[in-house]
Amino acid sequence: MAAPIAIHLEFGGGAELLFNGVKEHHVTLPSQSEPWDVKQLLVWIQRNLLKERPELFVQGDSVRPGILVLINDADWELMGELDYQLQDQDNIVFISTLHGG
C-alpha cells in the first residue's frame, strides 16, 4: 500500500485559465495499492481540478500537444513522460505555449 503523496502543481502560460486562474495547487493524492504515475495524475487532475474545457488540457492519455510538462524542473521527456512514478513533494509544472490558451 502506497502512502498518500503530497504534490505541488503549477500552471502557466495561460493553462491556469482552465483552473479558475489559480496558478499554484498543493494537492495530496490519496493512497492506493500501486504507485502513482503521471498518467494517473492527469486523470486525477481532470476529475478533481479541471474546471472547464478538458479537451484544451488533456488529449487522450496525455496532455495536449503544446503544453510543456516539467517534473522537478526537468523536461518530462527525460523522466519517462507518462510512466514516471510520482514521489512525495514532487513539483510538476504545466506551461502552455499555445496561442489559444
Partner 1 sequence: MCQMQRGECSCGHQSRRYILQGLSQNAHKKLRFLPGIVYIDEGGAVGQSVEERQRTVAELQAVFKATGFPFHMVPLEEVLDLPSSVVVMAPSPSEPPASAYKAAVDHFIQSDSSGCLTPQYQEQTLLPEVQESRTQVLQQLIGSAKTLTARQDLLNTLRQHLLVHTARTKGYSKLMLGDNCTRLAVKLLTSLSLGRGAQLAQDTGFSDSRYGDIILVRPMRDYSAKEIAYYNYMFNVTSVFIPSLDTKTTDKASIQRLTESFVTKLQADFPSTVSTIYRTSEKLQTACRSSCTADHPDRCLLCMCALDTAVENASAFQATLTSEQLSQSKSLGATRTEIPRQIRAPVEQCCSSGGGEDCGRAETGGDCCSSAKEPETIDLKSLLCYSCQLTIKDMASVEHLPQYILSEAQKRQRRYQMREEISEFLLDDGDEGD
Contacts with partner 1, residue ranges (CB under 8 A): 12-14, 16-17, 53, 56, 65-66, 68, 70, 73, 75, 93, 95, 97-101
Residue 97 beta carbon to partner 1: minimum distance, rounded to whole angstroms:
4
How far from chain centre, in Å, is Cα 100? 19
How far from chain centre, in Å, is Cα 18? 13
Q: How far apart are CA 43 and CA 15, in angstroms?
A: 16
Q: Which is nearer to partner 1, 26 or 99 (CB)?
A: 99
Q: How far apart are CA 71 and CA 91, in angstroms?
A: 6
Q: Which is nearer to partner 1, 44 or 66 (CB)?
A: 66
Residue 87 beta carbon to partner 1: minimum distance, rounded to whole angstroms:
21
Helix (H) or strand (E) holding 91: strand 90-96
Q: How far apart are CA 61 and CA 38, in angstroms?
A: 10
Residue 3 beta carbon to partner 1: minimum distance, rounded to whole angstroms:
29
Q: Which is nearer to partner 1, 1 or 100 (CB)?
A: 100
